[in-house]
Amino acid sequence: MSFDVIVVGGGPAGATAAYQMGRAGAKVLLLDKAKEFPRDKPCGGGLSARLLHRFPYVREFLESGEVPVNPIRRVHLESPDSTRVTYGQNDPVLYLIRRWEFDAALFRRAQGVCTVRNGVMIRRCEVKPTHVELESTEGEIFTAPVLIGADSANSVIARHTGLRSEAAHKEYAVDMMEETDYSRLQVADREAIYLFLTLTQTFGYGYIFPKTEHLNLGFGCKLDWYLTALRGKGAEHHAGWVETLKQKGDVTGETDRSRYKAFPIPVSGPLAQTFTDRVLLAGDAGGFVNAFTAEGIFYAMASGSLAADTVLEAMRSQRYDKRQLSAYQRAWQREIGDDLRHSVEIQHRLFNGSGRMDSLVRNAKHDPELLRLIIGYSMGAARYEELRSYMMRSTVPTWVWGKMKAAVGLSA
Ligand SMILES: Cc1cc2nc3c(=O)[nH]c(=O)nc-3n(C[C@H](O)[C@H](O)[C@H](O)COP(=O)(O)OP(=O)(O)OC[C@H]3O[C@@H](n4cnc5c(N)ncnc54)[C@H](O)[C@@H]3O)c2cc1C
């Protein structure tokens, strides 16, 4: 059977792209190395409200109970010096799901309109003059005029097309986490998430995300630091992190070693180029993750959707060259480009020594508007410009601010 397009990877990026193209009438082949769905994917499972606006069918998953959800209305934020502040609001700030159920729901929708092959791990990708050729670890060959690579942080497609370099350790973080049943591990406040701005040299965070039936907690650091300080000791470090949370009084019960997993996240912004002849990259494969918060599901689905639009347009003209596919890069830059660029800037500024984090949280403790903006920005609800201009105003003395406003003709 011949296909118009192949999608490699059936996570949020690939399943979104495949569903959109299949529904528009394209003949789509969706390949995933997982033998079946549901499959496990280490993740905090935090969905931002903007994801539900951009993809209203996700709201239906949550409302129908197809995907169990814990709506979160409170956030406990802690700085490296252990200053803690709590933020609350009436509407949910975040929706916590398990990827086990969420990804299976997305995958099922794609399956309804595409040809799906599970248990196919792609190990080679080659762009030929007339098509793209893929080879699986079993030696099976797949071809199509165009391809979307949505095969995650270690993307074979990104490396084999030369879009991502082989050795880029500093571009990644490693998140070490467990997702364990409440019968074993419990949290003091199940209606809140806990965020710890806990530095490990230059970058690091911890979190507790209570799902409906499971407690999810973890710790992230840059990959280069992980390789120097934690290689082979990740599980041990994780157990120590759980002990720290117990001492803080946030968690009770026991860690489950068998539920521990470590997984890479690209945290340096999108790749400089996310397309080439006959190939587009979406989701983690293209680096579409917020470099400050490590939110990736929204960006995976948004980039998957924009890649699908680009392929559908290319199919109309039957042109799959770089020039045609460059429309993809312009489309994501318009929708999420500034947001992702700012997230890298914030990461560099804030994760640059613990002092800035400490003073930010200490100031937020006494300034409810600053706290609202920090949480709002972190959860994708407030714009970077709002946060930045508020921070600038609150750090500039009032009389200087008055003079500045007068100088540009605003009432002081
Ligand atoms: C521990 C952790 C916590 C996180 N927490 C959050 C959070 O709370 N909220 C949030 O928004 N984001 C979070 N993220 C980021 C988020 O998980 C990712 O950005 C998101 O999963 C990216 O989706 P994707 O579709 O690109 O890739 P994935 O979800 O990784 O899906 C890729 C798919 O490709 C398949 N695949 C991979 N290689 C091949 C191959 N060679 N051949 C065939 N198939 C292949 C895999 O089996 C998989 O199904 C977290 C990440 C981690 C690691």
Q: Ligand 1: which of 36, 107, 151 to mutate, most ligand atoms within 8 Å of CB? A: 151
What does the H/E/C string look like for 40-107?
A: CCCCCCEECHHHHHHCHHHHHHHHHCCCCCEEECEEEEECCCCCEEEEECCCCCEEECCHHHHHHHHH
Ligand 1 closest atom vs CA 209: 8
Closest residue by CA, ligand 1 atom 18: 296
User: 3-state class of 10 per DSSP?
Assistant: coil
Residues 260 and 305 grouped into a single domain: no
For residue 153, tell me if it sits in a domain.
yes
Residues 292 and 249 grouped into a single domain: no
CA distance 30 to 278: 16
Residues 199 and 147 grouped into a single domain: no
Residues 174 and 30 grouped into a single domain: no
Q: What residues are in contact with ligand 1 under a 6 Å CB criterion?
A: 8-14, 31-34, 41-46, 120-122, 150-152, 156, 175, 177, 218, 263, 265, 283-285, 289, 294-298, 300
For residue 221, tell me if it sits in a domain.
yes
Total domains in the chain come to: 2
Q: How far is the CA of 352 from the centre of ligand 1 (A)?
A: 27
Residues 132 and 236 grouped into a single domain: no
For residue 308, tell me if it sits in a domain.
yes
For residue 59, tell me if it sits in a domain.
no
Mean pLDDT of all residues in 297-309: 98
Residues 150 and 285 grouped into a single domain: yes
Task: Give the CATH number for residue 333.
Answer: 3.50.50.60
Residues 206 and 256 grouped into a single domain: yes
Looking at residue 391, its pLDDT comes to 84
Task: Give the CATH number for residue 210.
Answer: 3.30.9.10
Digit-coded pLDDT (tens) for 364-392 = 999 999 999 999 999 999 999 999 899 88
Q: Are 285 and 153 in contact (CB under 8 A)?
A: yes
Q: How far is the CA of 282 from the centre of ligand 1 (A)?
A: 11
CA distance 347 to 326: 28
Please give the model's pTM, rounded to 2 decimal places. Answer: 0.95
Residues 205 and 314 grouped into a single domain: no
Q: Ligand 1: which of 32, 95, 106 to mutate, most ligand atoms within 8 Å of CB? A: 32
Ligand 1 closest atom vs CA 121: 42
- What integer best gives the mean pLDDT of the chain? 93
202 vs 162: which has the higher pLDDT: 162
For residue 147, tell me if it sits in a domain.
yes
Digit-coded pLDDT (tens) for 280-300 = 999 999 999 999 999 999 999
Looking at residue 412, its pLDDT comes to 38
Mean pLDDT of all residues in 50-74: 97
Residues 217 and 333 grouped into a single domain: no
For residue 275, tell me if it sits in a domain.
yes
CA distance 137 to 281: 21
Ligand 1 closest atom vs CA 157: 41
Q: How far is the CA of 152 from the centre of ligand 1 (A)?
A: 5
Looking at residue 349, its pLDDT comes to 85
For residue 376, tell me if it sits in a domain.
no
Q: At which of 293, 316, 347 does a domain end?
A: 347
Q: At which of 347, 371, 399 does a domain end?
A: 347
Residues 237 and 261 grouped into a single domain: yes
Closest residue by CA, ligand 1 atom 50: 43
Ligand 1 closest atom vs CA 156: 41
Digit-coded pLDDT (tens) for 209-264 = 999 999 999 999 999 899 999 989 999 999 999 999 999 999 999 999 999 999 99
Q: How confident is the model at residue 165 (pLDDT cuts 50, 70, 90)?
A: confident
Residues 17 and 157 grouped into a single domain: yes
| Chain centre to alpha carbon of residue 280 | 18
Q: How confident is the model at residue 203 (pLDDT cuts 50, 70, 90)?
A: confident
Domain that includes residue 91, residue range? 71-96+169-267+353-363
For residue 53, tell me if it sits in a domain.
no
Which residue shows structure tokens 């569903």? Answer: 19
Q: How far is the CA of 85 from the centre of ligand 1 (A)?
A: 31
Which residue shows structure tokens 């939110």? Answer: 295
Residues 327 and 301 grouped into a single domain: yes
